[in-house]
Homo-oligomer: A and B are copies of this chain.
Amino acid sequence: MMKANKYTFGLLISIGINIILLSYIIILYHSGSNQFIERQCSLSWSEKAAAEAEAVAAISCSGHGRAYLDGPVNYEQSEGQVRPVCECYDCYGGLDCSILSPECPADADSGDPIFLEPFWMEHATESAVMISGWHRMSYRYVDYTTMSSELEKYIRKMHAIVGNAITEGRYLVFGIGSSQLLNAAVYALSSDNSSSPSNVLATIPFYPMYNAQTVFFHSENFQFQGDSNTWILNNNNNNIPTNNKNVVEFVTSPNNPDGELKTSVVLGAKTIYDHAYFWPHFTPIPSPSDRDLMIFTLSKLTGHAGTRFGWAVIKDKDVYDKMLNYISVADMSISKDTQLRVLQLLKVAVKDHGKPLFEFAYDKMRDRWARLTSVFSKSTRFSLQHRHPLHCSFFNQTRLPSPAYAWVKCEREEDQDCGKVLETDGKIKGRSGSIFSAGDRCVRLSLIKSQDDFELLLKRLTQLVALENNINGGAVQIM
């Protein structure tokens, strides 16, 4: 009887546990109040879009390509399964981008900042953004502006963290990339009530957009006059400030193509500081810039060139008003969808005082430069620009710059067209020095593209230098 009682007792407990477990399963299925269910099943209208984005992101392209939500679709698939196909990086092909074309040239031409893509894949959760169908349909925000005040806050916060620009008491204007703001600035600074057009200058080697825009818009307010130093020699023997009132000078710092930190050379000129590359991954930040008109772009900060977003930091109210007016007349304002996405990206970028982003980006650039200089150290035919160490207040250390571009010079007398030499002898596409008004003895090579692009560039450069050493009696090294 004692034994039967024990069994009865055990059975009752077991049945009790049965009931509890069964109830729990029923609750899991039917109640929305359970925490487990809550976390997993709270989505309604957004779930489909989220699932689609994840499905596309999960398409495997062998690490040499990527599928996108808005990519080309393979219509041969059955209707229910229409999915974007892999878009292969340069030199890769095949349905899953696994086939490398062995003779493909290394393309180091464009400034596409894809080197930061892995950072955003690592921070997928925080950087994703869901845009509803009814998100901000109006031309304006609730404060009657066309610029998001939340985004403005995060841009100021970014500069405060990095210490690369003073933004307190300054005005901000958003533009379609820095490109639009460059021209808006020229319009704002050139005198529309003067009898003669303003003279727009830049110092060789300079970013060709300055020239292209001023020539293209063909305005009566300004004209491009080329190199600042030449202009001083020709127009202004003593570089007297009073004679330079009608000058608008572009100062690109760090400079594109050569990465040099620059300052204005024309005394008394109105200046536009193009600070696109003034971030800790490209240059030591000696101190915050405090210029009258400074232009930045998301492209070279977070790597989102395709997002087309830039901003100007402006001291003078009148210049601010004129630039706002430019944006308003040119295209009314910046896409609200773009502004939402930029806000999300900057929220991630400022986290932990910017350390994760800038450490990732700087490590990448430093590594690329270390490998690049190692290759060039074996060459007498090709040389790189000099880099000067400086104290970086952001990383709190003295370090070399790690510019976005290598500015390569062909040292041999006969190699007059350096771009052609690299292309013919090395299967390397660069951007010719003449594009930067600097003659063809130099070539710009982009170091900020994808890892695949950089590896191929380094391979081709190594082969080119080996060839040179072979001619000089050394052995050919094929990597």
Contacts and interface: CB of A to CB of B under 8 A. Distances in A.
B333 A330 contact: no
Interface string A109-147: 010111011001101111111111111111111100000
A52 interface: yes
Interface string A5-30: 00110110011011001101100110
Contact of A150 (B3, B73, B116, B120): B73
Contact of A133 (B112, B132, B348): B348
B304 A137 contact: yes
Interface stretch (A63-71, A157-165, A401-409, A437-445): A63-71
Nearest to A128: B49
| Max chain B Cβ within 10 angstroms of own Cβ: one of A47, A54, A73, A213 | A47
A175 interface: yes
B43 A47 contact: yes
Nearest to A36: B29
A303 interface: yes
A129 B69 contact: yes
A338 interface: yes
Contacts of A123: 133
Given A43-B50, A220-B220, A133 B124 contact: yes
A54 to B, nearest CB: 5
A341 interface: yes
A306 B331 contact: no
Contacts of A110: 139-140
A469 interface: no
A180 B129 contact: no
A218 B331 CA distance: 16
Contact of A177 (B10, B133, B332): B332
5 contacts: A7-B7, A7-B8, A14-B18, A50-B50, A72-B149
Interface of A: 3-4, 7-8, 10-11, 14-15, 17-18, 21-22, 24-25, 28-29, 36-37, 40-54, 57, 66, 68-73, 87-88, 110, 112-114, 116-117, 120-121, 123-142, 148-151, 175-177, 179-180, 183, 187, 192, 209, 212-213, 216-221, 303-309, 325-326, 329-341, 343-345, 348
Q: What are the 5 A-B residue pairs with the smallest beta carbon separation, nearest first?
A: A127-B133, A7-B7, A176-B331, A45-B124, A306-B336
